[in-house]
């Protein structure tokens, strides 16, 4: 057994210890879906960051900068700005709005939150809940697939496994501990994974800078704007719009111990994100100078780690990439499975026991993972492309609805239905078109059209008609 393999196995063993501890504390659907709303600021912040950034931060973003230079960092700039606004204006309000109240139980999922907040008939509110669940399952399937591809590439490169074997191994590990421990397992593993990711993103670029083989960067690679067009710039910074609509991130807000702790969590989360983002950008910039013949730019972090570090330490750092991948997949599997259990099964069978809903949630993890696994069978899938599509779909479908439900007046069930369909539909159709205005990242038009539909179809009191 190599030192790298030993480090991997030790890391995986630690995950299962955490999952076992969380399993013993998971007694009902509230524990499974939101950890009993017991997250402190540090765990909420780092688990949100880790589940947000994922393999994209360590594979997709460095790969994009490896190819395109510093201009690609506008994605990270847009995300940092969007994440700050999300923590500042959504976190505390959403935690307060989804908490238990004398007149009703708190919402455990985003679809349930929409159904509670929307004004309209009971049937219309249930339709909102069903549509939101369907959109989560559709777009999360692509998102989970992106994570499985990233994890398989890691096992393939680090352990020399065939792609299919690597895919099944990575997917099996994630499904096992997500099913066992639920939200607490996901949140606590994401917390430690976030720390590991940060350490790796600071250490490897620092060692690359000290390498005697480091050459001067090619002309233009450090130009922040380069040959960017207006549409290209808007497409990159528009990524930040997606934050308000990501259910796996919003779940961390809903799981906070109290709304008052969102402020401290914001400070921790933004510090982590800025430092991690700088490390990822540095990886992409330094990669071509040290590895000019690298065939797959998205493996630049893996290649630098293997070339700069001793095998044992390389195994620990490569475990950080695995951590990044796992931290998003487990969160998305949990949100998707909880939506099936709470927003489909519990609605169809309201008499079902808490234990039955918990078991359905665990079984749904397998269903979503198996579907995503089929999409990930293509080894040529690009991590950034899959993430881009899913991020846009969720951001455009749910972002405007979340903001309107929290801040707008007249959030109607009809508006929510049309707004979510408009946002998600725009992303799907826009992505199939090419040239001219259709080169714009589909999240931006989808978000705008969804917001417009919500406003035009807002609820108006009869007296003002």
Reported as a single tens digit per residue, the pLDDT across 105-134 is 688 899 999 999 999 999 999 999 999 999
Nearest-CA neighbor of 244 among 27, 456, 443, 23? 443
Q: Check: CB of residue 343 under 8 Å from CB of residue 129.
A: yes
Q: What's residue 427's pLDDT?
A: 94
Predicted pLDDT of residue 131: 94
Question: Which structure tokens are listed for 266?
Answer: 């914001």
Q: What confidence score (pLDDT) does residue 79 get? A: 94
| Cα radius of gyration (the chain) | 21
Q: Which fold has domain 3-380?
A: Sodium/glucose cotransporter (1.20.1730)
Q: Alpha helix locations (H) across 87-121?
A: 92-97, 110-117
CA 34 to each of CA 126, 291, 349: distance values in angstroms, whole numbers, following the listed order:
22, 43, 21
**Three-state DSSP state, 256:** strand
Q: Which two tokens stand for residue 351?
A: 């008499």
Residues in the chain: 465
Residues 6+ apart with CB under 8 A from 146: 55, 56, 381, 383, 386, 387, 390
User: Using one digit for the tens of pLDDT, what is the confidence trace for 254-268?
Assistant: 999 999 999 999 999
Can you give the residue ranges of every domain in the chain? 3-380
Q: What is the chain's percent helix, strand, coil content, to nearest 5?
A: 80, 0, 20
Query: What was the pLDDT predicted at 102?
Result: 60
Cα separation, 351 vs 347, whole angstroms = 9
| Ranges in the chain, pLDDT < 70 | 1, 4, 19, 22-29, 55, 102-105, 158, 177, 179-181, 320, 323-324, 326-327, 379-384, 462-465
**End-to-end alpha carbon distance in the chain:** 74
Torsion of CA 146, 150, 155, 156, to 10 degrees: 90
Q: What is the pLDDT of residue 162?
A: 85
CA separation for the pair 135, 137 (Å, rounded): 5
- Which two three-digit tokens encode residue 21? 């501890």
* pLDDT value, residue 370: 85
- Smallest CA-to-CA distance from 84 within 259, 239, 267 is with 267
pLDDT of residue 177: 66
pLDDT at 464: 47
Residue 58 is given by DSSP the state I
Separation CA 98–CA 100 (nearest Å): 7
């Amino acid at each position: 057994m190599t030192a790298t393999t030993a480090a991997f196995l030790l890391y995986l063993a630690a995950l299962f210890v955490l999952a076992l501890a969380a399993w013993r504390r998971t007694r009902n659907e509230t524990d499974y879906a939101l950890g009993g709303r017991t997250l402190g600021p540090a765990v909420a912040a780092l688990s949100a960051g880790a589940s947000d950034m994922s393999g994209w931060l360590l594979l997709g973003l460095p790969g994009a900068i490896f190819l395109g230079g510093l201009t690609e960092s506008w994605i990270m700039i847009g995300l940092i700005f969007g994440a700050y606004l999300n923590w500042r204006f959504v976190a505390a309000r959403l935690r307060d709005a989804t908490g238990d109240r004398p007149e009703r139980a708190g919402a455990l999922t985003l679809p349930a939150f929409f159904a509670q907040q929307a004004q309209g008939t009971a049937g219309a509110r249930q339709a909102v809940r069903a549509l939101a669940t369907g959109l989560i399952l559709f777009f999360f399937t692509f998102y989970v697939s992106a994570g499985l591809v990233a994890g398989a590439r890691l096992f393939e490169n680090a352990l020399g496994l065939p792609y299919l074997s690597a895919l099944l191994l990575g997917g099996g590990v994630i499904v096992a501990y997500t099913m066992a421990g639920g939200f607490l397992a996901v949140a606590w593993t994401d917390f430690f994974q976030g720390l590991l990711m940060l350490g790796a993103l600071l250490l490897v670029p620092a060692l690359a800078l000290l390498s005697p083989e480091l050459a001067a960067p090619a002309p233009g690679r450090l130009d922040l704007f380069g040959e960017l067009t207006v549409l290209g710039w808007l497409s990159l910074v528009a990524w930040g719009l997606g934050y308000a609509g990501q259910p796996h991130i919003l779940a961390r807000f809903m799981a906070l111990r109290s709304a008052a702790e969102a402020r401290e969590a914001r400070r921790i989360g933004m510090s982590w994100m800025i430092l991690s983002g700088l490390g990822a950008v540095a990886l992409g910039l330094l990669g071509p100078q040290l590895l000019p013949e690298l065939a797959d730019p998205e493996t630049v972090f893996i290649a630098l780690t293997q070339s700069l570090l001793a095998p044992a330490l390389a195994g620990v750092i490569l475990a950080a990439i695995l951590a990044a991948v796992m931290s998003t997949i487990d969160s998305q599997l949990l949100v998707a499975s909880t939506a099936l259990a709470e927003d489909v099964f519990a609605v169809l069978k309201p008499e079902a026991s808490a234990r039955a809903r918990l078991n359905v949630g665990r079984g749904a993890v397998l269903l979503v993972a198996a579907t995503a696994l089929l999409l990930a069978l293509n080894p040529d899938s690009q991590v950034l492309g899959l993430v881009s599509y899913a991020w846009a779909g969720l951001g455009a479908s749910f972002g405007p609805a979340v903001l309107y439900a929290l801040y707008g007046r007249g959030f109607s069930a009809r508006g929510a239905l049309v707004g979510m369909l408009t946002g998600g539909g725009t992303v799907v159709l826009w992505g199939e078109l090419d040239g001219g205005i259709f080169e714009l990242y589909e999240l931006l038009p989808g978000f705008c059209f969804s917001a417009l539909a919500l406003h035009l179809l807002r609820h108006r009191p009869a007296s003002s008609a």
